[in-house]
Amino acid sequence: MSLDLYYSVPVAKTTIDINLEPFCIEQQNKSITGNLRSMQNGWQSPNIIDKVDPKFSQEILKEANSYFYQIDGKNDTWELYMDNMWINITFPGGSNVEHIHPNTFLSGVYYVTTPNNCGRIAFKHPCSFTEY
């Protein structure tokens, strides 16, 4: 018997050494109410794509290109760009509700800081099935 993998979902992990914590706190102080999208018991910023340190955005794009190279083997197949980025500050006991990012081919999460025993991120398989 041979085993072929169909519908696999590659998930990449990396480290980016840029201290964004002061920036995140500054953004929270500027917009105390934040957005009410997927956050429960926490704060979510509006789009910060034009406010975040360009070095951070460049590192994210570098890692995204590396990801695509590993799954596709070519550098010229995809034109990558970012049009949205936001901050989540989760209070004790808080979380994000299950959600999707429509019209997006690649999404990412970057943890600026995490307390001990803060929980884990959970992913649901992207294929949806109807249950009868």
pLDDT tens, per residue, the chain with 132 residues: 887 777 777 888 999 999 999 999 999 999 878 887 888 999 999 999 999 999 999 999 999 888 888 887 666 766 788 999 999 999 888 888 888 888 887 888 999 998 888 888 888 876 766 555
| Three-state SS at 25 | helix
Predicted structure pTM score: 0.81
**The residue count for the chain:** 132
Contact 65, 75 (CB under 8 A): yes
What is the per-residue pLDDT for 54? 94
- Alpha carbon distance, N-terminus to C-terminus of the chain: 31
The conformation of residue 105, written as its DSSP 8-state character, comes to: S
